[in-house]
Structure 1
Amino acid sequence: MTVRVLILPGLLDSGPDHWQSRWEQRFSGLKRVKQSDWQTPSCADWVQKLHKEVTKNNRPVALVAHSLACTLIALWAQEYPEAAKRVRGALLVAPSDTEAESYPSGTQGFTPMPLNPLPFQSITVASTDDPYVTLERARVFSEAWGSTKLQILDSAGHINAQSGLGHWPLGISLLFDLTGDQQFHTAAGH
């Protein structure tokens, strides 16, 4: 049974040059979870939307999160532990620290940061100069969530379109590690 890959953008969604959008265009079977409010999101609304997508059918899922969506996954898994059993793995990229002063205002319900272990495999990716999370806090999140790996990128900012990653082959390789899907294996140049 093939894994469904859900793309979970963070605050303000992911634009056309973001690696998430590029992956969605390039690979078959990837589906973006579209939230009703990208500007001033309510955690409860985002959790319900994710839950609906994960439980849409019985196929296992992999989650590809950016920024605020990393927090979303941790909160959702805490609220719906049975449904979380359907998750094969999660790629948690640039987890924003919603408790930091640098975090943009306007979100509701995403604090305190969830620090419970995730009930599925995860890989966390952080940058040495992310304006929304210190490397120290990213390490805390990765360890608390039980990530099997913390991949650190040097000077990649918020690991978004401005980071200039293009299709981001390293990320594709990490996604292959989580899913075993051959389309990612080939694209990552293995």
Structure 2
Amino acid sequence: MSIFSPHDAREPVVLTVPGLGGSGPSHWQTLWEVSRPDTRRVELGMWNTPHRNAWVTKLDQAIRAVQGPVVLAAHSLGCLAVAWWAELAGQIYGTPVAGALLVAPADVDSGNHAALSAFAPSPSKPLPFPSILVASSDDPWAHIDHSRNLAANWGSVFVDAGPQGHLNADSDLGWWAEGQRMLDRVLDAASDRQGRPRPVERHALLAVNASDAAQRHYLGQE
């Protein structure tokens, strides 16, 4: 789907889920919201003093309001809100949330950031939808091994983005074309022409972990 085309109501709606402090005007989430007709933000509130149950409730309300398939594009603490929603919502596999792109999940377990403690411990159950988890090798908010463990616990495809900080506005990602390509892979796996959840093409998603060449192919770089 072209980003300049009207959103087809049969296709999933993309809900962005920001983290601590929200996402400013140069954050990739904000840029996606203004450029993609299928994308809108979940207004979680209390951006600087997050409360787990309040965020999960706001996320649940936003998901239910779509009344159709949803794909989540979460960043940092937003990824933990998604995981806690999945833990508490009890949805069947693939509906209403049909997939997720989870970017730079914050480490709420280390105790290094007091503002994140309300979300500890990290949920450890597999997510009830296909997902890709992207992490940076020099993220100040989470060691990459912690992110890799989250991906394993959640059943997410893991992508090492290399040294790009917290994969936020400070990382100078701009519109973040690589992230868009990963989001498109989630959308492809999540829906068919009628907007119904598809069977998960795990063989296609998991190919990203095989090698650097596989990752470049997966991201459409070769």
- Do Structure 1 and Structure 2 share a fold, with TM-score over 0.5? yes
Equivalent residue number for residue 89 of structure 1 = 99
- Aligned partner of residue 78 in structure 1, secondary structure: helix
By how many angstroms is 1:157 displaced?
Answer: 0.4
By how many angstroms is 1:130 displaced?
Answer: 0.3
- C-alpha distance in 1 between matches for 2:45 and 2:37: 24
- C-alpha distance in 2 between matches for 1:165 and 1:156: 9
Q: Assess if the C-alpha contact under 8 Å between 2:15 and 2:40 holds in 1.
A: yes
Q: Assess if the C-alpha contact under 8 Å between 2:13 and 2:66 holds in 1.
A: no
By how many angstroms is 1:50 displaced?
Answer: 0.4
Equivalent residue number for residue 38 of structure 1 = 47
Aligned length: 182
1:140-159 to structure 2, matched below 5 A, reads 140-147=149-156, 149-159=157-167
Q: Assess if the C-alpha contact under 8 Å between 1:43 and 1:108 holds in 2.
A: no
% identical equivalent positions: 39
Does structure 1 residue 173 correspond to structure 2 residue 181?
yes
Q: Assess if the C-alpha contact under 8 Å between 1:40 and 1:107 holds in 2.
A: no
| 1:23-79 deviations in Å (ceiling 9; x for gaps) | 111110211001220011110000000000111142100000000011111111110
Equivalent residue number for residue 7 of structure 1 = 16
By how many angstroms is 1:189 displaced?
Answer: 8.7
- C-alpha distance in 2 between matches for 1:119 and 1:29: 22
By how many angstroms is 1:109 displaced?
Answer: 2.8
- C-alpha distance in 2 between matches for 1:102 and 1:36: 23
Does structure 1 residue 80 correspond to structure 2 residue 80?
no
Which 5+ residue runs of structure 1 have no aligned equivalent? Answer: 182-187
- C-alpha distance in 1 between matches for 2:49 and 2:115: 5
Equivalent residue number for residue 31 of structure 2 = 22
Q: 1:160 aligns with which of 163, 168, 189?
A: 168
- Aligned partner of residue 125 in structure 1, secondary structure: strand
Which 5+ residue runs of structure 2 have no aligned equivalent? Answer: 1-9, 192-219
1:36-75 to structure 2, matched below 5 A, reads 36-75=45-84
Q: Assess if the C-alpha contact under 8 Å between 1:91 and 1:124 holds in 2.
A: yes
Equivalent residue number for residue 124 of structure 1 = 133
- Aligned partner of residue 173 in structure 2, secondary structure: coil
| Aligned CA-pair RMSD | 1.8
Instruction: State the TM-score, normalizing by the size of structure 1.
Output: 0.90
Which one has a bigger Cα radius of gyration?
2
Instruction: State the TM-score, normalizing by the size of structure 2.
Output: 0.78
Deviates more, 1:78-87 or 1:28-37: 78-87
Give every structure 1 segment of 4 or more consecutive aligned residues whose post-TM-superposition deviation is greater than 6 Å: none
Q: Cα gap change, 1:136/1:189 in structure 2, threshold over 3 Å: closer, same or farther?
A: closer
Q: Cα gap change, 1:60/1:189 in structure 2, threshold over 3 Å: closer, same or farther?
A: farther
